[in-house]
Amino acid sequence: MAKKIEKAEVPTASSEEASAFVTALQEKFQRKKRTPEERERLRKYLAEYSRGYLRSIARRVLIDIMKGPGQTPAYGAKSKPSRRPTGKRAARSRRKSAKP
Amino acid sequence: MSYDTTRDSEQLRVIDPSIDDFIDRYNNSSGLADGSRQTVFLFPGGMACKLKRATAPYVDGVSTPQTFAYHTAWLEPEMLVWPDDVPDLEMTKVAPGKYRDKDDRIIVADGAVGYLGCTPYLGFTIWCKLKGLDYFVFGWDWRRRHEHSGRFFVKKFLPYFQARVKDECNNADPLANFSLIGHSAGGMVVNWILRKNDANVANMRLAITVATPFYGYAGQVHRWFEGQAPFNGLFNAFRKKIIKTICSFPACYAWMFLDEQTYTDNQAALAADPKYPLATYPSTDKTTGAIADPYNPQTNGALSRYPAPGATGFDATELVHAKKLVQYLASDLDPALAAKFFIIRGDTTANDTAGSTTWDWVPPTDPSPIADGAGVPGDGTQPAWTARHVGLAAANVITVNGADVEHTFTMSSPTTLGALAGVLGV
């Protein structure tokens, strides 16, 4: 008998959420050199988020890359702190709630 | 061995472990429900194939074969943070139609991208296992001309793959019953392979495209001016380098909206699409609304359509070549080939896919001269009208609907896989 794959809800972050997450990452790490210590710091930073949350961000980033720049937010280009919808504080708060 | 020969040889060597995996699966599967065997080759989408870069350069003038170690060059999570590796993908044209990779460090493809544990093709591969299909995910270098990837698959990969599988699977022929499936730009390679109809694929049962553009899409023309987020970096610090890198990729020149001649030739048929008609030419001047053919860029005094070649490496000769390719891929099909060509296109029903663009003259190139028109039905990336070849019979064009048929992950969508099952008869 043929097996059937059921529809399953796979969470996908919104473009705005992914953009805020990536921008926060870039603000935290991009100005620093990519040393083994910084890589380790990045790994630890990402480890504070649940896998599900990171996957939802990764899904959106992949979708937006394929889509092209026209229809997606600029990811980091408009990231001046005063205009950012979700700053570090918000990101921390979300991180806590996203922990497993 | 020349650079090209070495790259092909290295490409086969890098693919070898994936062939090992295929052989393992083949020997441990009982095949389809009726016991028969069916092989499917999946060509992932453009940018959705993993690329690996040699850790040392190719050396000219060496007579013995050269082999290299590789590291992942596309796509690593770290690139979000430190996108300075992305320009390592840059290609250099050394003669018409001949390219080398940056610093002569060979780049090869290796399956599909995975990103923070997320891959667009996981659902497809699980589905194949459940159905008993013998699947192979064929990574192709989406930077190179589509015909290069198609030719490599047909002339180099297939005979090698067949020989290895026969040798290690009790002489079973994996090409006795096989089909090609191309997702997004991977479908352009499949389309090319079908049309070339080489003796090595004469036995192919079906060619299937999923969410593949036949008449271009809106996203690419933005990239010449805007680069690609998130790799542009904070405050666009890397944008110039990203644009230069993209301009060096020959394949990207064939991803823009269709040329005027192809539109004229197919205008009636495009407008007559029973579900998703294209009423007007999709690329127009911002001010006048006149046709702005990406493949026949006009000038307006000192103003033009594309960024300056000097600053970006934009290659007008590549545009000429791409025009021939897109015309070829959109042209009429031999009836025998059309009969085995199936198309699956998606409509998320959100009506938010960019279906047209307006184009201002440049300079300036910043802000971008490109703006998207109103949203139309599609999969979020490809308008539904472009994901269908107008020459195919209605029975060969399947439209899938629903939020889960979104472009990037449509190959993991139960709806899309259900349609695929119908086409493959599994």
Split at pLDDT 50, 70, 90, the class of A9 is low
Identify whether B366 is part of a domain. yes
Query: What are the Cα distances from residue B279, in Å, to A31, B288, B359?
Result: 48, 18, 19
pLDDT of residue B20: 98
pLDDT of A42 > 60? The answer is yes
d(CA B91, CA B372): 29
pLDDT-derived band at A71 (thresholds 50, 70, 90) equals confident
Give the residue carrying structure tokens 């790799």: B231
The runs of H, that is alpha helices, within A1-100 are 15-29, 36-47, 51-67, 88-98
Query: Please, what is the average pLDDT of chain A?
Result: 75
At residue A7, the pLDDT reads: 53
A31/B115 touch (CB, cutoff 8 Å), yes or no: no
Place of tokens 């805007």: B226
pLDDT at residue B25 in the model: 98
Residue B335 lies in a domain: yes
Residue A15: closest CA among A85, A79, A63, A70 = A63
Is pLDDT above 70 for A79?
A: no
In a domain, B362, yes or no: yes
Contacts of A11 by beta carbon, 8 Å cutoff, 6+ apart: A52, A55, A56, A59
Closest CA to B181 of B341, B36, B413: B341
The ranges assigned to domains in chain A are: 15-98
Amino acid at A28: K
Instruction: Tokens for A63, please give them.
Output: 């979708």
Q: Give the ipTM.
A: 0.94
Closest-CA residue of chain B to A29: B81
The residue segments making up the domain with residue B33 are 21-49+118-220+253-424
Q: From chain A, pick out residues whose CB is under 8 angstroms from the CB of B49.
A: none
In chain B, the number of structural domains is 1
Query: Residue A8 has what pLDDT?
Result: 55
Element (H, E) at B168: helix B158-168
**Across the interface, do A67 and B407 touch by the CB < 8 Å criterion?**
yes
Q: Has residue A87 got a pLDDT over 80? A: no
Tell me which residue has tokens 């049309």: B195
Mean pLDDT, residues A58-70 taken together: 93
- Indicate if the pLDDT at residue A95 is higher than 50: no
**Residue B307, in any domain of the structure:** yes
Of A54, A65, A68, the CB nearest to B222: A68
Q: Does A41 touch chain B (CB under 8 A)?
A: no
Closest CA to B141 of B239, B254, B250: B250
CA B138 from centroid of its chain's CA atoms: 12
pLDDT means per 10 residues, chain B with 426 residues, are 97 98 98 97 97 98 95 93 95 96 98 87 97 98 98 98 98 98 98 98 97 98 97 94 98 98 98 96 98 98 96 96 98 98 98 97 96 97 98 97 97 98 98
Beta-carbon count within 10 A of B159 CB: 12
Percent of chain A residues topping a pLDDT of 90 = 51
Residue of A nearest to B126 (CA): A5
Across the interface, which of B220, B237, B408 has its CB nearest the CB of A63?
Answer: B408
